[in-house]
Chain A
Amino acid sequence: EDQVTQSPEALRLQEGESSSLNCSYTVSGLRGLFWYRQDPGKGPEFLFTLYSAGEEKEKERLKATLTKKESFLHITAPKPEDSATYLCAVQGISGTYKYIFGTGTRLKVLA
């Protein structure tokens, strides 16, 4: 059964303190891995799609990387506005197009 585990559950950083969020996954075959940002009371906002091991994508202070078993979301010099829940999801090749989500990492960046 496809499964996604995110760690840590919660993370508090000082402004400017870089860190990484982890997404470990088990899937019979990976079609894609996705990162989303979610603010309280809102729908997930798309950040990145990663397709294959070794791939990296960047957007402003965020960088996502992918291996065969896990993905990292690196946050460089975060700002308070980066505070949100970061969700990881996988889409397998089993014939269905649904996403399997992790429970997310709640990030709080303190000024």
Chain B
Amino acid sequence: DTGVSQDPRHKITKRGQNVTFRCDPISEHNRLYWYRQTLGQGPEFLTYFQNEAQLEKSRLLSDRFSAERPKGSFSTLEIQRTEQGDSAMYLCASTPEVGGVETQYFGPGTRLLVL
């Protein structure tokens, strides 16, 4: 399967703990996005990478959140000192840089529950 993959699929943690999620985009897709989705809502943009450069961050991305994409391949999203409000589905998407309109292809998501 050559789609976007995310790991882990599920994570349960206690408030105050740190968690890290991984996203592997479709091969040769150089744009990568992170979104957060809560129950009954559409995905909300968090951040965007073009290759290894983080080009945009949402104001939703507080200083407890950090994302990286070393070498422009996989990406990690870390949440420090988790809070119950961080409970959500974290989605990763990738797209090739072809100019014009680019369709984003989503992974299966990582569901986070903070107790």
Give the residues in chain A near B48, CB-CB below 8 Å. Answer: 96-98
Give the residues in chain B near A4, CB-CB below 8 Å. Answer: 42
- Tell me, yes or no, whether B85 is within 8 Å of chain A by CB: no
Give the residues in chain B near A51, CB-CB below 8 Å. Answer: 101
- Contact present for B91 and A44 (CB under 8 Å): yes
- Contact present for B102 and A89 (CB under 8 Å): no
| Min CB–CB distance A55 → chain B (angstroms) | 11
- Contact present for A42 and B108 (CB under 8 Å): yes
Give the residues in chain B near A32, CB-CB below 8 Å. Answer: 101-103
What string of 1s and 0s marks CB contacts (under 8 Å) between B52-85 and chain A?
0000101000000000000000000000000000
Give the residues in chain B near A46, CB-CB below 8 Å. Answer: 103-106
- Tell me, yes or no, whether A91 is within 8 Å of chain B by CB: yes
A contacts with B, residue count (CB < 8 A): 25
Interface-side segment among A56-64, A65-73, A100-108: A100-108
What string of 1s and 0s marks CB contacts (under 8 Å) between B89-107 and chain A?
0010001000011111111
- Tell me, yes or no, whether B43 is within 8 Å of chain A by CB: yes
Q: A32-B101, A97-B31, A97-B102 are in contact. Are A44 and B43 (CB under 8 A)?
A: yes
Give the residues in chain A near B58, CB-CB below 8 Å. Answer: 98
| Min CB–CB distance A20 → chain B (angstroms) | 19
- Tell me, yes or no, whether B25 is within 8 Å of chain A by CB: no
- Contact present for A43 and B106 (CB under 8 Å): yes
- Contact present for B103 and A49 (CB under 8 Å): yes
Give the residues in chain A near B45, CB-CB below 8 Å. Answer: 98-100
Write the residues of chain A forming the contact surface with B, with a CB cutoff of 8 angstroms: 4, 31-32, 34, 36, 41-46, 49, 51, 87, 89, 91, 96-104
Closest A-B pairs by Cβ, 3 of them: A101-B42, A32-B101, A43-B106
> Could you list 7 examples of A-B contacts with CB < 8 Å?
A31-B100, A34-B104, A43-B106, A44-B106, A87-B42, A96-B48, A103-B42
